Amino acid sequence: MLSTLSLSLEPRPRDFGARLNRRRVPTLAGRMRRRHRGRRALVLLAAFGVPAFAAPADWSGLAIGNAGSAEVTVEPMPFERAGESFPGSAFYYLATDEELPPLVPGLQSDADGGRVFIDERAGPIARSLRIDNSGVDRTRALQCLTAAIYYEARSESDQGQRAVAQVVLNRVAHPSYPNTVCGVVYQGSERTTGCQFSFTCDGSLAKAPNRMFWLRAENVARAALAGYVERTVGLATHYHTIAIYPYWAPSLRHIITVGAHRFYRFTGRAGEPGAFRFAYAGGEPLAAPHARSAAADRQPETALDPLALQRAFEAGLVSARGAEAIPAGQSRPAPAPAYAPDVQQRGGEALYRGENLPQDNGVRPEYQNSGRWIAQPGT
């Protein structure tokens, strides 16, 4: 019994596993290779580095930006300059685009058959004006539109710059202004005052533009010439800064204020979609202001007055449709057609006037009250 108990308490045999050292046996050749590895790296570094440092070369290409300069010139934003800021100006300059409501389809345009879309706040919006001409026309148009955006709204938000570009293109499409981008931008630049865009005659072009702001304006201009439409300004053809209030502002229709600019469009038929034709014919003039003319300063320029342009547009419509305007609700009678000689001999227009139709006296008395109530219903 005791022997049986002692056998049961013995531990069970375990599996045997030998552990062998599997590392390579060190040899004399391996030790020598490890010893000379660092020396070889130093020899290669010296072979390439010493000739490079010894050669007379310009190492400025390895410089990182302006990291080595002690002074860095940073041009301040307009709202950071004395005399160019106003309460809340930073909000206008750095404003982000607001979410726009969906467009509402409108009527067909009378100008070129295009469909007009309506914005709930801006009213009718412009259509795309693509200037994809290759060569001189596109280059000049891009140069002129970039200059207008840069000098008029270089510190505005993206929406503010796009709005200025849209005004230029709206004028290109309106018959009251030149039909080219450069013609619109530099209209009136031969005068010392009274030019359409103030930077073309107040000496602003004498100062070299800032490259960063110029490239930003160029990107906006390139998108506008490729067909982008800034719908928030609708069919605006005029704008002014909020620091002034020109005499023509109450007579035009205010659309929206974007940043530091208030945008307007013509009232009456001059501001309707049918007055615009968004088609580009090319023929861009030089991308430069006109030569100064003393005679132009002494003469009033009606083409630069928006109210005079409105009156001229209405007068042109009246002249095109006849000597007198047709009152609302009435139509102008169509002129008599040119009849063939045999029809002219038989009476011409008199044959079709219906003068021989039976009148009231030709109706029999028993039928004169046909169609009338015998007694008024409800009485």
pLDDT greater than 90 at residue 230: yes
- Return d(Cα 53, Cα 254) in angstroms, integer: 68
Q: What pLDDT is stored for residue 250 in this prediction?
A: 92
pTM given for the model: 0.61
- Segment 176-201 mean pLDDT: 89
CA distances from 10 to 6, 17, 44, 188, 337 (A): 7, 21, 68, 116, 132
pLDDT single digits (tens) 148-175: 999 999 989 999 999 999 999 999 999 9
- Return d(Cα 275, Cα 141) in angstroms, integer: 23
Residue type for position 49: G
The residue among 96 and 314 whose pLDDT is bigger is 314
pLDDT single digits (tens) 300-335: 777 678 888 888 888 888 777 664 555 555 556 667
